Copies of this chain bind each other. A is one copy, B any other.
């Protein structure tokens, strides 16, 4: 209670969580881990994965331990406070907004300001994009399919599958309606 309650963002929790999971990480490790997992639905540039741990170390949620030799990497670990902050966050369902941020949807929202042509190619492009992502997720799922379906690692992936299927359905329906209508 002595420190003035540092404000933690979702980004902070990504960092804390990954370090909690893997024990010790450099910023580059974080970058890799993000790219291979959360990055699919929660991405940010790697520069944040350098800046954020520094902040977290400043407020005592991480320890920073810099190599003396060669690359002088900074290795981060969780402190007791860090673990507490993380548990605390995990224990209370976040009521933050869920947002489907899709520039394509924004364009569709303004479809009335443009021609049918443009909307058709928008729908085509977006359908293709989501089919791609769906395929990617399905490949990943297949490769994981030794394990239990409800295993945690698979859960966010499953969420991705559902979301992508909905997206494909939407855009392809739209395309059909526009070209056959």
Contact = CB atoms under 8 A, between A and B. Distances in A.
Given A41-B101, A98-B102, A17 B109 contact: yes
Contacts of A163: 100, 163, 166-167
Interface string A108-146: 111111100010011011100110000000000000000
Given A113-B20, A150-B181, A106 B169 contact: no
Contacts of A1: none
A111 to B, nearest CB: 5
Interface stretch (A23-31, A53-61, A64-72, A82-90): A82-90
A5 interface: no
A4 interface: no
Assembly stoichiometry (copies):
2
A125 B95 contact: yes
Nearest to A13: B106
Interface of A is mostly: helix
Nearest to A96: B103
Interface of A: 10, 13-14, 17, 20-21, 37-38, 41-43, 86-87, 89-91, 93-114, 118, 121-122, 124-126, 129-130, 150, 152-153, 155-156, 158-160, 162-163, 165-167, 169-170, 174, 177-178, 181
19 contacts: A17-B110, A37-B109, A41-B99, A41-B100, A41-B105, A43-B99, A89-B107, A93-B124, A93-B125, A94-B106, A97-B101, A100-B159, A105-B156, A109-B155, A111-B155, A112-B152, A150-B177, A162-B169, A162-B170
